[in-house]
Every structure is written in structure tokens, then in C-alpha cells.
Structure 1
Amino acid sequence: MRMLREFDDLRLSPHTGWTRNHWAALADHLLLSARRYASASHARVSFPGPPGGYGPDVDALEGFARTFLAAGFRVAGEDGRDPLGLMEWYAQGLATGTDPRSPERWVRLDEHGQAKVEAASIALVLHLTRPWLWDRLDPIVQEQVVDYLAPAVGADYPPINWIWFQIVVEQFLASVGGPFERKDIEEGLAFTDGFARENGWYADGAERAYDHYAGWALQFYPLMWSEMAAGDPAADSRRPLYLERLERYLGDAVHLVGADGSPLVQGRSLIYRFAAATQFWTGARAGTATPAPGLLRRAASGIARHFTERGAPDEDGVLTSGWHGAWPPLAQSYSGPGSPYWAAKGFFGLSLPADHPVWTAVEEPLPVESGDYHRVVRAPGWLVSGTRTDGVVRVINHGTDHSHPGTHLTDSPLYARLGYSTATTPVLAGAHAANPLDQSVVLLDEGGRPSHRTGFETLLLDRLPSGTVIGASRWQAHWVTAESGHPDHGYGRAGTVRLGPWIDLISAVRGPWEVRLIRLPVTGAERGPLSARAVERGPLRVGGWPLPAPEPVQTDTAAVSNGTLHSRVVAGPGLDLCGVVAAEDSSPLAPWTLIPWCATTTPALPDTWYDVAVFLGGQEPDRAPVLSWDGPALARVAWPDGTDDLLDTAAALSGPGTPPL
């Protein structure tokens, strides 16, 4: 957005130029643009576009509640100063939306589950702006609001981040003398304790579900609730633990932002865009000791600038369903035209006054701007590599699939791929979205269909003395004929399953390179006479990084460039076929996605190690890592930077989930 450039301040913000003025101007632009799509009473904000999976009534409620978040943060941080009349404008919508007699009334919490989500945003803003909105509402409207929120009490909520929506709503009701159940809050808090994982991370429920909800929901709501309930011994005793978890989590989170401000392109609900900044503002508001305020703002402002400079919002001031510009396939089936406005959570920093240290500190560089790094993030099972020369952050995934070990679902492109980055997206549309090609290790059946890996076992996550990070996982290859008619929530699908051989995978990651060691172990069931399962052992195929590109290319090598980035797969012995697949309109980053791959020409041999080197970087590599063997189990990797690593494959594969050999 050109209008934001006039506020640039490279003294205060040497990396982004962004200040609080940029954030305020962006929020005001979105809020004023949204008014064009509001009903006469302001209760419904219906943005252009086809209805979402839950229908236009839910869409209109989302449009109100999610823009209300931005309005609330804006006024709270100004201590009630409100030149745009935001509180008055939204007060009118509150009065009408909660009036059961109005033709523009909102969908109630006991009529549609999505209203439970939006109710939490409404309650949160009413808390933050209480002196300037709630306290000034007519008593009849206050009663209507309480009645509207009351069905949260005793209601069933899905056992994921939604539990926090009930806690927040009931905490607000308690604060204004409305109905609430202490039991709901206590049981909800105890349940969400079960989301906690290593090093401050949270999973979104019982599954290996790690995505942006880890920050914009599961870190955000605990601290906001403890603020809402301040003075309550339960809240005051829990807050230090929530704060400690957030601080540890943010230590990883700042390493997952690219130098261009792109968040990691992984997980569902990506159309919320700069909601990914919420976690950093949460750290600032909560007063974490680290990261420093200047680094928190650098990360948050970099994310917002990334999107505003690439088409979000659009020329009409609207946040469309997409990543940069509109790209509808990125949305889940439940998403409607109002859904992208959960990006408003990214304005949480505006709830902090202009003299807060997060606004006055000089920006500090992101980790990827300071130097190369290799990091093991244990909770989601990620090996993280950031490289300063190109500003790209890469994640090699040995722990996340939005499922449980031992399940046999299809691979979700958003969760179960082997790699994600800040410069690429998985293939999300077309044939290769459901049939893994990019960032995959698969077996091909007799019809050429690739296998899936969801349900894998994580065996190893470690860091070598050299700084190289390594990980290992094992799964039983399976082919799934997915059941039709189920809504798309972004994760793998069940169906009719055919099981195949086991696959062992070891990754060693250094800089822009990953070395993959792949083996199909012979299990006890396959020893002796040739079994049916052994016959199913088809060709092995390995896919590399999916590169966004303006047009397709023709090549018989597994190397491709878009002029800025290079993606390459360097095949070891036995992987004799190589090429690049060009997939059209398959991701939100470019018209084409180019995926290098290599494969065996015949069925993969049992108990044989195959190796490939996979590259993503801004400079075309002049040489690749070289693998050699010091015996049957010790692999030596000579990296291009001169580092030599010895990998003990037997030790790497000795973790849980070992099949009977």
C-alpha cells in the first residue's frame, strides 16, 4: 500500500521502516473500507464473494466480529480516543445483532457452532474497551448482549483451541454479572493444560497438530484470560506458567519468519495472513523478558509489510481469501468472505500505547538476518535451517501430520509434507495436492499412485557437534481411496486403505541442503517365501522443494530456477529417473509450481539405502553434499562448506515404532 510509505522511519525501524503509525493507518483503512459492506444497522458486514460453507448469516457475523477486533485494539491503545467513531459505529451493530426481534439479528451460539468462535472476539473487545463501549451501552442492550453470549454456559465445544472461546466468553459474563459456570472455566483450563508440549509449545488438541494456531490462539488466549481474570487466585497462579511457555515458544517463533517477512507457509487457515503477528504482540503485552521489544516489533511489522506490499488488502481495501492476492483454493470449506478478517488479531499491538517499549525500541534484526542457524524444534518435530544470504527459513518435518502415530490417512499438503519454507508453498490444488509429489518420499503402486506417510513414528531429533541437525522417522506406506463428501478442514482424510512396505527416512540438514537417506526394511512378515506385501514394493520416488514460477520449463534434470531461488534434487545410486513436474495454478505464490524429483526405474530394493540431496536456496550451488559409507551403518556426509558429518543410521532408527525385523 503506497499510502503507508509516508510513515516510514528507518531510524526507529531500520529493517522494515514500519512504526505504530503504519499499523494504525492500515487498521483504519481496513475498518473504513469494511463499512461499505455493512448493513444499515451495522450488525452485518457482508464482504463480496461467494458464501462460505456455513452460509451468508455466519459470513455476516464473521464480518462484524472480526473487524470489531481491530476496532477494539485501536481504541484500547488510544485510551479511548476515537476520532473515527468506532465504538459508536459498532455499538449500533451490537444493539441490532443481539436483538432477537431484529431481522438483522446474529446467528446464536445455540444455532450454529461458528457463532461460538465469533462470540469470543466480541467478549474480548468488550473487555478491552469496557469504559468506552460496554459501560455506555443502554441497559437493555447490555441485557441483550448477555443473553446472546449466555448459551456458551454448559455448552459443548470441540476439544481444540475452541475451549478457549468458552473460557473467554464465560469470564466476560462473570465480570458483568451475567450467568457463568465456574466449573466450565476450571474444567476448560484443566483440559487446555493437556495441550502443552515441550519448550513452551502447544498442540491444537490431542493430535500432532502444529500450525499458526500455536501462536495466534493457544499462546494468545491463556494470557488474555489471565488478564481478564486478574485478581482471581486461579488466574494469578497460572499466569507465570503461561508467560514462561510463551517466552520459550517465541524463542522458536522468531526463527520461523523469513527476511522478507513471510511467515512459514504451513498449516490451515493461512488466509488469516498477518494474524501470524499476534504471538509477537502477545509477548510484548505480557512483558516477556525475551525476545527483546525491538525484535518482537521487527517480526510483527515484517509480517504485515510482507502482505501489504504484495496485494493484501486489495485495491478496494478488502482482505480476500488468499495469501497475497485472492486465491480461493487456499481457504478451507468452512471459510467465507468474512473469514480472512481474523487477520485483525494481528493488530493486537495497537492495544499497547504509543509509549510502550515495543513501539519505542529500535528494531532488531531477525535471526535469519543476523546469520545462518540450525535449530531443533522438538514439539512439532521440525529441523529448522535459516540462511542469511537468501533470507529463507526452511523446516524439515519429522513430527507433524495432524494425526496420531499408526493412523493411515491421506497426507494433508498443509501438514504431512517433508518440508515447508517461507519462500515456497506446498502444492495445494490439482492432482498433486492429493497425490504427494513435492517434498515427499513415496512408493508408486501398479497404477502409478504415490503412497502416504501420515501416522509415521518420530524416531530422532538431534543436533550434531558440527551444528548439523538430524531427524528420522518411519512409516508404513499406504494408499488411501478417500471417502467423499466430507468437509475440508485442511487435514488428512480417511478411506479404504491398502498397506505397503515400511519406509525408513533419515534427514541431515545443513544450510540450504538436506541429505535424505531412505530404506525399505524387510520386516518379519516378509522373511522367508515371497509374500504379498513384498510384491507391492514398487518404484521409489523422491520429490524436492516446490518452486513458484511465472511459466513452466522443460528439462530432463531435477534442477530448476525462477531467477531468484533454485530448487534441486541430486540423486544417489539407483535413482536413475529425474525430472521436473510443472503444476499450473497449484499454489498462491505464482501461476506455476515447478517440482524436481527423482525415482528408481524398477521396484525399490529391500534393505538398501538410497540417498538424495535436496536443495533450496538463492544462489545456484556449484557442488552438492557427497555421501560415502564407512561400513554398513555409518554414513559420512561431506558438505559443500567443508564440514564432515558421520551419521550412525542404526542409532538414528533405534527409536520407538520399530517394526519387527
Structure 2
Amino acid sequence: MTYTPAYANPLAANPLRTRADVEQALLDLFDPLLPAFSEGGARVSLSATAAHFDQAAADLEGFARPLWGLAPYAAGGGAFPHWPLFAKGLANGTDPEHPEYWGKVTDRDQRMVELAALGFALRLIPQHLWDPLDERARRNVATYLLEARPLLFADNNWKFFRVMIDLGLERVGVDFDRSLTEQYLQELEAFYLGDGWYRDGNVPRVDHYIPFAMHFYGLIYAALATTDGERKQRFRDWARLFAPNIRHWFADDGGTLVFGRSMTYRFACAGFWAALAFADEEALPWGEVKGYYLRHLRWWGQYPITDRSGVLTVGFGYANLLMSENYNSAGSPYWAFKAFLPLALPASHPFWTAEEAPAPAFSEPSPQPEPGMVMMHTPGNVVALSSGQENLQMRFGSEKYAKFAYSSRYAFSVESDERIFEGAALDGMLGFSDDGRHFRVRETNEEALIAGTILYARWRPWADVEVETWLLPAAPWHIRVHRIRTPRPLATAEGGFALPRADAYRKLETIEERTGAARVVGAADMSGIADLGSSIERRGVALKAPPNTNLLHPKTFVPQLRGEIPNGETILATAALALTDRFDAGRFWQEIPTAPTIAELEALIARDGRRVGAIAWRTTP
């Protein structure tokens, strides 16, 4: 008997080496959606799960998001037989008298997100979506887009959606008020931090939305807008500055740093490399750009990211609603189709003709002051030490933005129950409890500084408890030093990297738990955490984390250090690492680094410290 798993990832058997392979990936990922199209073509309903917006908007999401890939494919000469279905759906979805009408657009409406895809598609392939429509249908489409334009878009990357809508309206000859577009373009440029980095709105946050949204749309605008030459050149210049930085978010095996919100968009993370190609912007040699792009697509072939019919699921490495955002409908993952933007290019373009280049080897840590990170590369993994960012509005904002360390190979975990301190995963975090049941972690910083490759943050789990944290690389380890001042005793737990746990009837991992250290050795990886001479004694624990908490691996172990701190001042010093079996991990476990003193760290920060860009803008005149 052969066991068949309950998923069928269309990327799994695709070598993803050539343009033809990428075309096939697009079609293989789209085809499972066809049975979900409504009779009138305007709605694509994929499951009964819900987002915070109405079902009509969710069904529009399922309809529109595949266009990010299908439109470039057609623009590049690809034969797609279902354009009549999309043209019919566009006509019916924008017709107030049709039962499949998408509904009236309002301020900060999810429909605005999807209208960006429609505007982009109208700009690229009007012959498939506009030309087949009769006059009434064209008026309905134009009216729907025009009525959305003056409404209030969210104060972040959403401002680009009006710009994308306008590209489509201009292409099909519909007049509109260009002053509204100019206003948003100016506000988008005001989000720029420097060295290629933006923030995603007026928030202390720099995440994957910078490459797969801010730069993605900026490069599309640079390639397609018919005027505005100086701004288009700025978008290009900033992308060229950004490329050498964002490549540090990609491991040599194609995995990307798992960090921030909207990770269910998966290979949208290749969108920046895709947009460089689309805009003909050789920010790195084409072979390198192509390598980052294709390795990332190939990386996704190893994970169960679809259901058994081939539909992308909400989740990251597997179907997982726990980690999702409240704006993730069943159609949300199809933002991943942004990765197919290079299919608009002819096969003769140097992006496609270049020989794929391997990722450069980076032996030294790379400081990134704008996101407040220090990047560390090891084979098969990239780690970001993070000063900590902020997302107080969304579920699991602390886990997604405020951990001390993030990884491409070991991802991060969200908590499934904040009332079970003894079972909290706390990978890359320091948790505190004053009752042994509830617990708190870093949510935001009062200050965040970077000095070379050393990060500093001051934060408070409670108003009367102050924590200062220093992070520094000690490859392949990293070191954390915490100074805690509390008026009452607290229980603490600090976690290392989450290690995949075998789904087997017998234990396959080797576990070490002792005073001052914990280590788990799995089939292909080792994760460990060690105390470096704290002012209290901590016990090592190999926590069997609750299932489905880690974004990449449904079952994990997390090595932790747990202990009790008294009232007053306590110093905790910690080293953590996780390595693949491409290393002599046992040797590194015997070579635990030494932590610098608080005085040494304070002197370095006082001499060279600067505020990280993610928060410095808040006090910049």
C-alpha cells in the first residue's frame, strides 16, 4: 500500500530552472482554481474560512490576485485559454445589477487591494480584459475604478493601489484626476528611510512589504508610467541601493527570512527580484538576480503549501490558520503570483538568458540599521538578530516583529495559549510571568540602537519592569545579554531556535537538558541554548512546543533556559545557535562563546550607537 499525503504541491516536481518551467508553475498553480469560479466568472470561493471583510470582497480577492501572474504571462506571449472567463467576470463583478457584483468600495476597503491587480492587468493586456467588453460593461468597469480612486486608502503601501489603478485607466483611455495620484506618490516617497529602505507607512516597521510591495510597485511604475521621469528614476535608484541589502534576507538554499506579517503570501518574497527583471534594472548581475529568484521558487517545492487539489492554503510551510492575519481570506495566498512578473519579458531578455549564479558567500555579519538587524549567514540558513520592531494592532505582533532572532530555516513560532507559561514556545524571546500562568514578552521598545554589529533595546513587559537587551553575533552563535530591573520576583523563560520534531511513533531526537543548557539533535539539525554566567541559575529545558505554532514546521522542540529572578537587578547572559548537519555541530556545542561585560557593551553603544531607522523617523524633524 502506498500512502498519499493530503496535499499536492504543484511545484514539487518542477525543476524551476528555465522560463518554460516558471510558465508551467504558473499554470499548474492556477488550474486548481478553475472549479471555484462562479457561473458569472466574478467570484472565486475557495473555502468556508473567513476574513474580517465580507465574502464578496474575499471572492474578488480570489478572482483578482492570480492576475498578478497571468497578465505578465499573456503580455509575454503566453497562451491562456481562460481570458473570456476573466472578461466575463470583470463585467459582472462591476455591474451593480448583476448578482455577482463585488459591492460598493468604501474607505480602506479590501476591494482596493484587488483593484490594483485589475488596474495592472488592464495596463498590460487590455486586449483580453477591456477590448472584448461592450460599451455598457466598459462604463461599469471605468465607473467602479473611478469611484474607488478618491476614497481613503490605508496610510501605507496601499497608496500604491491608486497608482496601479491609474495605470490601467490611462491605458484604456479613461480620464481621471491626476492630482490624487501625485498626492499619494509624494506620500509614498516620504516613507523612504535611506539606503533603499522604506517603512511601510507611519509605523516603526520594516518588513517584507518593502521588497514585495513598496519596491515591487515602484519598479512597475518606473517601467510603465508614461511621464514623471525624475520620480521613476528615484524608484530605480532606490531599488539599486536596496538589492545588496535585501539579498541578505535570502539563504543560499533559497529560503527567505521568516519575519513579519503576511507570510502566507509565500513566494511573493521573490517579487523584488521579479520586479527588477520587469523594469530591466540590473541592480545586481543578472545571473545573481536570477539565482535569488529561482532558488526561492524551488525552495517552496519541498513544503505542503497546497491542499490535495493543489489550491494554496492559508499558512506558510503548511496549512495553518493560527499564524494568519485577520485579513487573510482563502484567496489571500495568491499574492504569491507576484513572483511571475518576469514572464512579461521575452525569452531573449538577459534575465532569462543569463546563467543562474549561486548565492555569494558571506562570512561576516551584515548590519542593517534601517530595519534594526544584523544578518548572519550559515549554509542553508540566514539569521537576523533584531533590535525589535512593533505591531500592536495585529495578532501575534510580538512574535512576528519583536523577537531577538529570526531565521529562514527554523522560522519563528506564535503562541497558541498565553495562559500556559510552562508550555510557551518563546523561541527567540524572553518571557516573564508573575503568577506562573500568564506571561509577557517584548511588544515594543522605548529605545533601539545599533553600533556596528551590536544591537541594543530598552523595553518593558510591565510598566514597572525595565529590560535592557544587547544582541551580538558570535558566528555561528549569537549572544544575548539582558539587564532586568523589577520590583518583584518573576519567573523567566528564554528560547533558542525551534527545531523540527519528527512525526514518528518513537522518539528520534537526542535531548540534553542540564543546569545552564539545553540541546536537541534531530535528523538533520541541532539547536541549543546555553547560559553564559547569569546572576541567577537557570535550568535547561527541551520544550515540546504545542503543535502548529511554528510557521515552517508543524511540530518542534525549543531549547529553553528557565529560572526565577528576584526583585532588584538581574543580569542574564545567553548564547544560542542552530545548525544543519552540514556542520560539525557537536564541536560547536563544545565551543560556547563568552559574553562581554555590561560595561563593555555600554561603552560601545555610547560611542557608536545610532537609532535604528525603523524608529528614528518618529523624532526626525
Q: Output the TM-score relative to the length of structure 2.
A: 0.87
Q: Which amino acid aligns with 1:290?
A: A
Q: Counterpart in 1 of 2:5? A: none
Paired residue type of 1:395: A
1:57 aligns with 2:53: no
Which of 281, 286, 289 lines up with 1:288 in the alignment? 281
Question: 1:420–1:655: structure 2 CA closer, same or farther, 3 Å change rule?
Answer: closer
**Is 1:257 paired with 2:250?**
yes
**In the alignment, which residue of structure 2 is the partner of 1:634?**
600
| SS of equivalent residue, structure 2 residue 366 | strand
CA apart distance, 1:5: 8.1
Residue 174 of structure 1: how far off its partner (Å): 3.9
User: What is the CA deviation profile of residues 70-101 of structure 1, one whole-angstrom value per residue up to 9, with x for unaligned ones?
Assistant: 221110111xx52x323333112112222221
> Which residue does 1:303 correspond to in 2?
296
User: 1:595 is paired with a residue of what secondary structure?
Assistant: strand
Match of 1:549 among 501, 509, 512: 501
* Runs of 5+ unmatched residues, structure 1: 9-16, 464-468, 479-498, 522-533, 636-645
Count of residues paired in the alignment:
587
CA spacing shift, 1:599–1:500, aligned 2, 3 Å: farther
SS of the counterpart of 1:412? helix
Larger mean CA deviation between 435-444 and 418-427 belongs to: 435-444
Partner of 1:452: 441
Shift of the 450–5 alpha-carbon distance from structure 1 to 2, 3 Å rule, reads closer
Secondary structure of the residue that 1:634 maps to in structure 2? helix
For the residues of structure 1 that align with 2:164 and 2:11, how far apart are their CA atoms? Answer: 34
- Going from structure 1 to structure 2, the CA distance change for 1:212 and 1:602 (only over 3 Å counts) comes to closer
Give, in whole Å, the separation in 2 of the partners of 1:380 and 1:250. Answer: 15
Q: 1-side partners of 2:538 and 2:67: how far apart?
A: 57
In structure 2, relative to structure 1, the CA distance for the partners of 1:591 and 1:411 (3 Å cut) is: closer
Matched, 1:147 2:143: yes
TM-aligned CA distance change 1:40 to 1:182, over 3 Å = same
Query: 1:640 — aligned with what?
Result: none
1:461 aligns with 2:427: no
Partner residue in 2 for 1:383: 374
Indicate the SS of the match to 1:124: helix
* Residue 566 of structure 1 pairs with residue 526 of structure 2: yes
Partner of 2:70: 71
CA distance in 2, matches of 1:2, 1:576: 43
Match for residue 90 of structure 1 among 86, 93, 99: 86
- Are the structure 2 counterparts of residues 542 and 506 from structure 1 closer, same or farther at C-alpha, using a change threshold of 3 Å? same
Q: Is the 2:107–2:151 Cα contact (8 Å) retained in structure 1?
A: no
| Secondary structure of the structure 2 residue equivalent to 1:238 | helix
Partner Cα separation in structure 1 for residue 270 and residue 611 of structure 2? 36
Change (3 A) 1:578 1:6: closer
Q: Is 204-213 or 593-602 further displaced after alignment?
A: 593-602
Summarize the Cα distance change of 1:187–1:509 in structure 2 as closer, same or farther, 3 Å threshold. same
Deviation at 1:55, TM superposition (A): 3.4
Question: Could you tell me how far apart the structure 1 residues matched to 2:329 and 2:520 are?
Answer: 36
| Kept in 2: contact 1:459–1:652 (CA 8 A) | no
SS across alignment from 1:563: coil
Classify the secondary structure of the residue corresponding to 2:414. Answer: coil
Q: Contact 1:473 / 1:653 at 8 angstroms: preserved in 2?
A: no
Q: Which moved more, 1:112-121 or 1:432-441?
A: 432-441
Q: Who is 2:43 aligned against?
A: 44
Supply the AA of the counterpart residue of 1:347. F
Residue 477 of structure 2: which of 479, 488, 513 is its match? 513
Structure 1 residues 539 and 314, CA gap change in structure 2 (3 angstroms) = closer
Selected match of 2:417 from 431, 441, 465: 431
CA displacement, residues 453-498 of structure 1 (integer Å, 9 cap, x when unaligned): 22314443233xxxxx2211111232xxxxxxxxxxxxxxxxxxxx
1:614 corresponding residue in structure 2: 576
The answer on whether the counterparts of 2:250 and 2:408 sit within 8 Å (CA) in structure 1 is yes
Report if aligned partners of 1:411, 1:436 keep a CA contact under 8 Å in 2: no
The 2-side partners of 1:142 and 1:614 are apart by 60
For the pair 1:504 / 2:463, whether they are aligned, the reply is no
Distance 2:58 2:220 in 1: 26
Question: Which of 91, 95, 98 lines up with 1:99 in the alignment?
Answer: 95
> What's the CA shift string for 1:360-395, capped at 9, x where partnerless?
10011123xx3434101111101100013xx21000
Q: Any conservation in 1 of the 2:425–2:558 contact (CA below 8 Å)?
A: no
1:276, distance to aligned residue in structure 2 (A)? 0.8
Relative to 1, partners in 2 of residues 1:425 and 1:356: Cα closer, same or farther, differing over 3 Å? same
- The 1-side partners of 2:575 and 2:125 are apart by 54
1:511 counterpart letter in structure 2: A
Task: State the distance in 1 between where 2:591 and 2:605 align.
Answer: 21
- 1:483 corresponds to: none
Would you say the 8 A contact 1:411–1:417 is kept in 2?
no
Contact 1:209 1:403 survives alignment (8 Å):
no
Tell me if the contact between 2:51 and 2:327 (Cα under 8 Å) persists in the aligned partners.
yes
- What is the alpha-carbon distance in structure 2 between the residues aligned to residue 505 and residue 543 of structure 1? 15
1:533-564 deviation line (CA, Å, top 9, x unaligned): x5235344422212221258765342112222
Q: CA deviation at 1:131?
A: 4.1
Matched, 1:414 2:400: yes
Q: How far off is 1:299 after superposition?
A: 1.4
SS in 1 for 2:101: coil
Change (3 A) 1:265 1:356: same
Amino acid at match of 2:525: L
| 1:311-390 alignment runs, 5 A limit | 311-367=304-360, 370-388=361-379
SS in 2 for 1:627: coil
Provide the aligned C-alpha RMSD in A. Answer: 2.9
Shift of 1:160: 1.1
Quote the residue 1:624 is aligned against: 591
Of the candidates 435, 454, 473, which is equivalent to residue 457 of structure 2? Answer: 473
Checking the alignment, whether the CA contact within 8 Å between 2:478 and 2:577 is kept in structure 1 is yes
Residue 536 of structure 1 corresponds to which residue in structure 2? 488
* TM-score, normalised with respect to structure 1: 0.82
Report if the CA contact (8 A) 1:330-1:428 is conserved. yes
Per-residue CA deviation, residues 289-342 of structure 1 (Å, 9 max, x unaligned), is 321211112112222222233223444121111223322223212211111111
Cα pair 2:477 2:593 within 8 Å, conserved: no
- The percentage of counterpart residues that share the same residue type is 26
Q: String of CA shifts for 1:470-529, please: whole Å, max 9, x gaps.
A: 211111232xxxxxxxxxxxxxxxxxxxx12221111110322111122136xxxxxxxx
Distance 2:271 2:553 in 1: 27
- C-alpha distance in 1 between matches for 2:389 and 2:565: 30
Q: Does 1:598 align with 2:561?
A: yes
User: 1:411/1:31 Cα in 2 relative to 1: closer, same or farther (>3 Å)?
Assistant: closer
Q: Is the CA contact (8 Å cut-off) linking 1:443 and 1:537 kept in structure 2?
A: no
Q: Which amino acid aligns with 2:579?
A: G
CA distance 1:66–1:373, change in 2 (3 Å): same
Select the residue among 209, 214, 237 that pairs with 1:213: 209
> Alpha-carbon deviation of 1:277?
0.8
Query: 1:61: Cα distance to partner?
Result: 0.8
Asked whether the 8 Å contact 1:159–1:205 carries over to 2, the reply is yes
Q: Is contact 1:257-1:264 (8 Å) kept?
A: yes
In the other structure, the counterpart of 2:387 is 398
Structure 2 residue 106 is matched with structure 1 residue 110: yes
